[in-house]
C-alpha cells in the first residue's frame, strides 16, 4: 500500500477493496516501525489515541451512504473521507492530543476547540492520525536553532540521509509525508517553514496567500506572514488538501494585499480564493506561460545550479517562455524590517494565544515562557538559547512607530517593489527559482548556520503564494524548484508545478541511509 494517493484511496474505499480501519492500521504500523524503531525518524510527536475509533465511524458512515439509509442531502462523503492526515503540533485539536509547539512550557496543554482548519479537515472526512514534531516554537526561540528539534519531541531526521537536517519548522510534516507515515500533512510557515522542509525532503509544499487558510487556533509567530499549508508527495494531493483547508471567505484580504482597490481588482479578475483546485491540474500547464527566472539565487551552490538548469530546459520544452528577471528581487534588504515585524507580532500574537488558554494552562504569557525556559535550561535549552524570545519581550505594542514603519517597508519592498513590480514590468505569470539547497548536516554546536541558497523570503514577507516541487537530487539529496507570484495566484502556480512534475517525475522515495552515498573513492 506504499505511497497511496488520495484518489487511489477513495477508489479502493468505494470499491470495498479497503476499509478506513485497515488504512489507519497500516500507517500506525509504519509509524511504529519506521518512526519510532528502524531508522527512528522521530517525525510524529504524538499518535491520536482515537484514530481507530474515528476510522470505524467513517467506515460505518460509508456503509450508510452505500445503503441509502441516510437522507439524500447527507449521502455525499467528504473529499478526504477516510484519508489519514498528520498535522503540525502547533495546531489546536479539541481531543486528547496536546498542542504545545514542541515546548515543554506547554506540557499537557489541551485546546478547548479545534483550529478552524481542523474543523474543515474533520468535515471533509479526514482522520487526524496524529501530530508532527517541529522546530520548537516554529523556529522562533533562539538565533541559531537546530531545525527539527524540540524539547518535547527531540530531533527529527531526514529520511534521505539520517545525519542531515530536515529543515524547519514543519520538519515532522515533511518527513512524515516523504517516509509514507501518512497520506498528506499540514505544516505552517512564516518564512520558509513549509517550503524549505518540503524541498529538502523531496515532497510538494504549498505556502498559500496569507488569509486563504484561517490562522485561528494555530500557535502564532506573526499574523502578517503566518499561514498553514499542505504537504504531499504529489501536486494533485497537495492541491486537493489545499481546497479543503481554504476558507471560502477571507476574513481580512487587505492584510495580504494592501488596498481596497487591490481587492476590487482581484474580485473582478476572479482571483480571490476558491476551494477546489483540481481544474488547474493540467499536464500542458506550462505551455504559453511566461516565467521569470530569479538568477540571484543561482551561483551559490554549483550542483544545485545543474539541477535548476535541467529544470529550466524541461520548462522550455514544455512550452514555457523563460526570461531572466531584469532586476533582482529585494531579499537581503528585507531582513532587518522583517525581523522587526516578527519580533513585535510574536510578542503580541503569542500573548493573545496564551491568554486564551484555559485556567489550567501552564503558562499564560511570553514572559512566563521565558521564565520557564530559564528555570528548565538543561532540558529546554541544551543546544541553543531563547534570544529571539528575549528580543521580542522588550518590544512595545503594535501601535509603535518602529513596528508600523517596518511593516509598511517590508510589505512595499517584497510586494509592490518586488514581486508585483517584476511580474508587471516583464509581463510574467510567475517567478521560478531554486527553493533551497540540499540538506546540510545536523550541527548541535553551531545550529543552522550554513551557506546555501534560499528564495523563500520575498513571497513570505509579501504574503503571496509559493509552491515547491521536487526537481532533482544532489548526491541523493532532494532539491526543489519554486514557483511564486502575486496574491491569490495559487491556481496558476499549481498548474505550472503540476505540468513540471508530470514532465519530470523527479521525486524518488527515500531509502533511509545513515549518510549521503558518495561515489566510490571520491571522498
CA-nearest of 161, 167, 237, 232 to 200 is: 167
Q: Are 407 and 109 in contact (CB under 8 A)?
A: no
Residue 27's pLDDT is: 98
Mean pLDDT for the stretch of residues 370-385: 98
Task: Report pLDDT for 336.
Answer: 97
**pLDDT tens digits for 283-311?**
999 999 999 999 999 999 999 999 999 99
Lowest mean pLDDT among 105-114, 283-292, 445-454, 458-467: 445-454
**Residue 191, by phi and psi: left (phi above 0), alpha (psi -120 to 50) or beta?**
beta
With a pLDDT cut of 70, the percent of the chain lying above it is 93
- 296: Cα within 13 Å, side-chain hemisphere: 16
In CATH terms, the fold of domain 6-504 is Amidase signature (AS) enzymes (3.90.1300)
Q: Of the residues 88, 207, 347, 395, which is catalytic? A: 88
More confident residue, 264 or 398: 398
The total number of residues shown for the chain amounts to 523
* Range name among 140-154, 248-262, 367-381 with the lowest pLDDT average: 248-262
Q: Where are the domains positioned within the chain?
A: 6-504
Tell me what pLDDT residue 274 has.
74
- Catalytic-residue membership of 169: yes
CA distances from 257 to 36, 190, 250, 294 (A): 43, 16, 12, 22
**Cα–Cα dist 228/185, whole Å:** 10
Distance CA 496, CA 293 (A): 14
- Distance of alpha carbon 420 from alpha carbon 463, whole angstroms: 12
Measured distance between the N- and C-terminal CA atoms of the chain, rounded to whole angstroms: 38
Alpha carbons 249 and 280: distance in angstroms, whole number: 20
The pLDDT value recorded for residue 333 is: 92
- φ/ψ (deg, to 5) at 97: -95, 155
Listed range (118-132, 230-244, 271-285, 384-398) with the worst mean pLDDT: 271-285
Which position among 151, 169, 199, 482 bears the catalytic label? 169
Half-sphere exposure of 389 (CA within 13 A, CB side): 25
Can you give the pLDDT at residue 252? Answer: 45
The yes-or-no answer on residue 193 being catalytic is yes
Instruction: Name the least confident of 23-27, 143-147, 265-269, 310-314.
Output: 265-269
Amino acid 522: pLDDT: 63
- pLDDT at position 264: 45
Mean pLDDT of 87-93: 98
Helix (H) or strand (E) holding 137: helix 136-139
* pLDDT value, residue 44: 98
198-208 residue pLDDT tens? 999 999 999 99
DSSP state of 78: P
**pLDDT band of 523, cuts 50, 70, 90:** low
Find the catalytic residue in 193, 199, 214, 457: 193
pLDDT of residue 255: 42
- Confirm whether 109 is a catalytic residue: no
Amino acid at each position: 500500500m506504499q505511497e497511496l494517493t488520495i484518489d487511489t484511496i477513495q477508489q479502493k474505499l468505494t470499491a470495498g477493496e479497503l476499509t478506513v480501519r485497515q488504512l489507519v492500521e497500516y500507517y500506525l504500523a509504519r509509524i511504529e516501525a519506521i518512526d519510532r524503531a528502524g531508522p527512528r525518524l522521530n517525525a510524529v510527536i504524538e499518535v491520536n489515541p482515537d484514530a481507530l475509533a474515528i476510522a470505524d465511524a467513517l467506515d460505518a458512515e460509508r456503509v450508510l451512504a452505500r445503503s441509502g439509509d441516510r437522507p439524500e442531502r447527507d449521502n455525499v462523503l467528504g473529499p478526504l473521507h477516510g484519508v489519514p492526515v498528520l498535522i503540525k503540533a502547533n495546531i489546536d485539536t479539541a481531543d486528547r492530543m496536546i498542542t504545545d509547539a514542541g515546548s515543554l512550557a506547554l506540557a499537557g496543554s489541551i485546546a478547548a476547540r479545534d483550529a478552524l482548519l481542523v474543523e474543515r479537515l474533520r468535515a471533509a472526512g479526514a482522520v487526524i492520525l496524529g501530530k508532527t514534531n517541529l522546530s520548537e516554537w516554529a523556529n522562533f526561540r533562539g538565533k541559531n536553532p537546530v531545525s527539527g528539534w524540540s524539547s518535547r519531541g527531540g530531533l527529527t531526521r531526514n529520511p534521505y540521509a539520517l545525519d542531515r537536517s530536515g529543515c524547519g519548522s514543519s520538519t515532522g510534516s515533511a518527513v512524515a509525508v516523504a517516509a509514507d507515515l501518512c497520506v498528506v500533512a499540514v505544516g505552517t510557515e512564516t518564512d520558509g517553514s513549509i517550503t524549505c522542509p518540503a524541498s529538502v525532503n523531496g515532497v510538494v509544499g504549498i505556502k498559500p496567500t496569507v488569509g486563504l487558510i484561517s490562522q485561528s487556533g494555530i500557535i502564532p509567530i506573526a499574523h502578517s506572514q503566518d499561514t498553514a499549508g499542505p504537504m504531499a508527495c504529489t501536486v494533485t494531493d497537495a492541491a486537493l488538501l489545499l481546497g479543503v483547508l481554504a476558507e471560502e471567505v477571507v476574513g481580512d484580504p487587505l492584510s495580504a494585499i494592501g488596498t481596497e482597490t487591490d481587492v476590487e481588482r482581484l474580485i473582478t479578475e476572479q482571483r480571490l480564493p476558491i476551494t477546489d483546485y483540481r481544474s488547474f491540474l493540467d499536464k500542458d500547464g506550462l505551455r504559453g506561460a511566461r516565467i521569470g527566472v530569479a538568477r540571484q539565487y543561482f551561483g551559490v551552490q554549483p550542483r544545485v545550479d545543474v539541477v535548476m538548469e535541467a529544470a529550466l530546459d524541461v520548462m522550455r520544452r514544455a512550452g514555457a517562455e523563460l526570461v531572466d528577471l531584469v532586476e533582482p528581487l529585494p531579499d537581503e534588504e528585507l531582513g532587518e524590517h522583517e525581523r522587526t515585524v516578527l519580533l513585535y507580532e510574536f510578542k503580541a500574537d503569542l500573548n493573545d494565544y496564551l491568554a486564551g488558554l484555559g485556567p489550567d494552562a501552564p503558562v499564560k504569557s511570553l514572559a512566563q515562557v521565558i521564565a520557564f525556559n530559564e528555570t528548565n535550561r538543561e532540558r529546554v535549552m541544551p543546544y541553543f538559547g531563547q534570544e529571539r524570545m528575549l528580543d521580542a519581550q522588550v518590544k512595545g505594542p503594535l501601535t509603535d512607530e518602529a513596528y508600523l514603519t517596518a511593516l509598511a517597508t517590508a510589505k512595499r519592498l517584497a510586494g509592490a517593489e518586488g514581486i508585483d513590480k517584476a511580474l508587471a514590468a516583464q509581463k510574467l505569470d510567475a517567478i521560478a527559482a531554486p527553493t533551497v539547497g540540499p540538506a546540510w548536516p545536523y550541527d548541535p554546536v553551531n545550529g543552522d548556520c550554513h551557506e546555501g541558497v534560499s528564495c523563500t523570503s520575498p513571497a513570505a514577507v509579501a504574503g503571496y503564494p509559493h509552491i515547491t516541487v521536487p526537481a532533482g537530487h544532489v548526491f541523493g539529496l532532494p532539491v526543489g524548484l519554486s514557483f511564486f507570484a502575486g496574491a491569490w495566484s495559487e491556481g496558476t502556480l499549481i498548474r505550472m508545478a503540476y505540468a513540471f512534475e508530470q514532465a519530470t517525475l523527479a521525486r524518488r522515495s527515500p531509502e533511509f541511509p545513515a549518510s549521503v552515498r558518495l561515489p566510490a573513492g571520491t571522498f
